[in-house]
Amino acid sequence: MHLNPKYHFHDVAGEHIAVPLNPSDGDLSKVIAFNDTSMALWNHYQHTNFTLDDVVSFLTSEYDVPFDRASADAANWISILKDNGLVFDE
């Protein structure tokens, strides 16, 4: 899978806000706030394809988090981003 390159990030009053540059439906109010971990994941996979296992590996290597928790968090992260059009399958 890969990230949607149409989304651009801005630091807004200390928060990471994802904004679609050219929304197909013209709706500019669909913005998404990212926490620091989500932002780190986005930056890591911005220019490369990745799998669920890649995200789990990233979380367990970068953060002090057990494998089961990382697996659940990775699946949740991907699911939320897919639902909002920020992640596409191949």
Partner 1 sequence: MILDCRFANVCCRFDATASLYCLQTLSCLSSFQLPLSAATSNLSCLYFKLDVPVQRPLAEPLHSFEYSDAGCKCEFFVDGGSYFFCMTNVIDETHICLRYDGANTVECSTLIDHSFSRFAIWFAVSMFLVNHNASFIHASAVVCEQGAVLCLGESGTGKSTHTQLWLRNVPNTFLLNDDSPIISALGSSPLACGSPWSGKTPCYRPEQVPILAFVRLRQAPYNKMTRLSVAQSFAAIYPSLPPSLAFAEHFASLFASIISRCLLSTPCFLLECRPDADAAILCHDTILPQ
Q: What does the binding site for partner 1 look like in residue numbers (CB under 8 A)?
A: 8, 10-15, 17, 19, 21-22, 26-33
Distance of CA 84 to CAs 13, 14, 20, 58, Å?
23, 22, 11, 22
Alpha carbon distance 76, 73 (integer Å): 5
C-beta of 28 vs 72, nearer to partner 1 = 28
Cβ of residue 60: shortest distance to partner 1, in angstroms?
28
Query: Amino acid letter at 75?
Result: A
C-beta of 23 vs 44, nearer to partner 1 = 23
C-beta of 22 vs 61, nearer to partner 1 = 22
